[in-house]
Amino acid sequence: MVKKKDKYILEENESNESVILPEKKSQPIDTSNWPLLLKNYSKLNVRTGHYTPLPFGNSPLNRNLSDYLSYGIINLDKPANPSSHEVVAWIKKILRCEKTGHSGTLDPKVTGCLLVCLNRATRLVKSQQSAGKEYVCIVRFHSAVSGRSAVVRCLETLTGALFQRPPVISAVKRQLRVRSVYESKLLDYDENRNLAVFWAKCEAGTYIRTMCVHMGLLLGVGAHMQELRRVRSGCLSENDNLVTMHDVLDAQYLLDNFRDETYIRRIVSPLELLLTDMPRIVVKDSCVNAICYGAKLMIPGVLRFDNNINVGTEIVMMTTKGEAIAIGIAQMTTAVIASVDHGVVATIKRVIMERDTYEMRWGHGPRATEKKKLIIGGKLDKHGRPNDQTPESWLKYEGYIPTLTGEPDNITNSSSLPALDETKKEDKKRTLDNSKDGDSSPSSESDGEKKSSKEKSKKKRKHSKDS
């Protein structure tokens, strides 16, 4: 009967596809398709897997709309003619944001990638402004050039560190400065119209207009910039969810009139998209709020960490849900983080997450709870300082100081504290008494000297008046 029942159960399990059969080995989870900062999460080094998940925060893609816009960025295709500041001001007005910022000014006639940060995401503007840029430019030569090869050689010459002075019409001081062009490539050349199209990867603050003038000088024919488009700003290119001003207007119209969030969620991306290239450290939920208040990241708070971490490198601290907490500066290498059990892992450079998004988890220890009771009972003042009613056990740290090696467990180190306190008080009294006795005679002498000097100065003034 038992065998028949077992066979019947097996047949039923085979027919039901939703039943998970037991396996000897667990299959690895494929995290290559996970979004944003959680991508390749399984490849991170594991320090510990023990932590208490807290019911706070949300995955970046599942935030409610107000938070989604507060931590959002827009990869905007800037139109020609309006300035970058005008475009950003229009977006601020359309989306009704408190703050907006952009990742580097584009001239009015220039089009292409302009990264617009909304509200809390404006904290990342500084780091994005210094990121590298890529451009596609059309240059017009004033007369015929001796072949395509001459233009290629000219572009090869204008790579590396270059001296540049900003153009006559510019928003910065016109002084000589060094800017680097990392790479350049000729895309097309028209001999009949004396036009060339080239691509350049350069440092932030490089003037392509000045580079075009230098090309004309090197070729001996003169040249100027005809048209310019930015195709990449930092880690975002024109292929990464590039939107127009019309898209922004349409998205807000659908939200206001039809309560449709899908379009605005499509044009606005989470700020975590900008941090995907940085080394990651996954942090326990219990220490998230402490980091938001500016605390250093310590070893006990680390869950997972990346391989390529060195001292001084910028890292991003993230939650297990994939939210960016802060940008920090690493104080340990990957090998040290894996081997030590205490110490500072990273200091804070810029906090991204709003305070109190996660619950405060400090101040729950035994001494902290007792301190709160003493403050309520009036045995400590409102700042936690001792007063006349403070018990001696609190001042002596009884029960909180570990026992010394070789002593019995019932004897604590606090027994030696009163003697030390008494000796310290006696030393202070002696020093005060000595200072009073020793300073009495010199002070009187100094007072007498001051009086005599004042009398002499008065006599001199009288003599000068009489003369």
Question: How does pLDDT run across 73-92, given as a tens digit for each residue?
Answer: 999 999 999 999 999 999 99
pLDDT tier, 2 (very low <50, low <70, confident <90, very high otherwise): very low
Which pLDDT score, from 0 to 100, does residue 441 have? 45
From the list 107, 388, 409, 427, the catalytic residue is: 107
Task: State yes or no: pLDDT of 442 exceeds 70.
Answer: no
For residue 94, the SS3 value is: helix
**Residue given tokens 């001081």 in the structure block:** 173
Task: State yes or no: pLDDT of 451 exceeds 70.
Answer: no
Percent of the chain with pLDDT over 90: 50
What CATH fold (topology level) applies to the domain 37-62+278-362? 2.30.130
Which pLDDT score, from 0 to 100, does residue 147 have? 83
70-237 shares the fold of 37-62+278-362: no
Task: State yes or no: pLDDT of 249 exceeds 90.
Answer: yes
Tell me what the mean pLDDT of segment 372-398 comes to. 88
Quote the tokens at residue 104: 């580097």
Task: State yes or no: pLDDT of 284 exceeds 90.
Answer: yes
pLDDT tier, 466 (very low <50, low <70, confident <90, very high otherwise): low
Q: Which is higher by pLDDT, 253 or 206?
A: 253
pLDDT tier, 44 (very low <50, low <70, confident <90, very high otherwise): very high
Tell me what the mean pLDDT of segment 176-185 comes to. 89
pLDDT tier, 440 (very low <50, low <70, confident <90, very high otherwise): very low
Q: What SS3 string covers the chain?
A: CHHHHHHHHHHHHHHCCCCCCCCCCCCCCCCCCCCHHHCCHHHCEECCCCCCCCCCCCCHHHCCHHHHHHCEEEEEEECCCCCHHHHHHHHHHHHCCCCEEECCCCCCCCEEEEEEEEHHHHHHHHHHHCCCEEEEEEEEECCCCCCHHHHHHHHHHCCEEEEECCCCCCCCCCCCEEEEEEEEEEEEEECCCCEEEEEEEECCCCCHHHHHHHHHHHHCCCEEEEEEEEEEECCEECCCCCECHHHHHHHHHHHHHHCCCHHHHHHCEEHHHHHCCCCEEEECHHHHHHHHCCCCEEHHHEEEECCCCCCCCEEEEECCCCCEEEEEEECCCHHHHHHCCCCEEEEEEEECCCCCCCCCCCCCCHHHHHHHHHHHCCCECCCCCECCCCCHHHHCCCCCCCCCCCCCCCCCHHHHHHHHHHHHHHHHHHHHHHHHHHHHHHHHHHHHHHHHHHHHHHHHHHHHHHC
- Helix 208-219 vs helix 148-157: crossing angle, to nearest 10: 120
**Residue given tokens 């990867």 in the structure block:** 201
Residues paired with 46 in a beta bridge: 304
Task: State yes or no: pLDDT of 210 exceeds 70.
Answer: yes
Q: Which is higher by pLDDT, 430 or 184?
A: 184
Tell me what the mean pLDDT of segment 143-155 comes to. 89
Task: State yes or no: pLDDT of 252 exceeds 80.
Answer: yes
Task: State yes or no: pLDDT of 23 exceeds 70.
Answer: yes
CATH class of 70-237: alpha beta
Q: Is the pTM of this model over 0.85?
A: no
Task: State yes or no: pLDDT of 409 exceeds 80.
Answer: no
Task: State yes or no: pLDDT of 58 exceeds 60.
Answer: yes
Task: State yes or no: pLDDT of 444 exceeds 50.
Answer: no
Tell me what the mean pLDDT of segment 180-187 comes to. 92
Task: State yes or no: pLDDT of 292 exceeds 90.
Answer: yes
Which pLDDT score, from 0 to 100, does residue 162 have? 87
Domain ranges of the chain: 37-62+278-362, 70-237, 366-395
Range in 171-185, 292-306, 418-432, 452-466 with the lowest mean pLDDT:
418-432
Tell me what the mean pLDDT of segment 212-232 comes to. 92
Closest to 281 measured CA to CA, from 261, 299, 256, 306: 306
What's the CA gap between 427 and 460, in Å, rounded?
Answer: 49
Task: State yes or no: pLDDT of 341 exceeds 80.
Answer: yes
pLDDT tier, 322 (very low <50, low <70, confident <90, very high otherwise): very high
pLDDT tier, 20 (very low <50, low <70, confident <90, very high otherwise): low
What's the CA gap between 187 and 339, in Å, rounded?
Answer: 51
Q: Any catalytic annotation for residue 421?
A: no
Tell me what the mean pLDDT of segment 9-24 comes to. 59
Angle at the Cα of 57 from the Cα atoms of 364 and 54, rounded to 5 degrees: 40
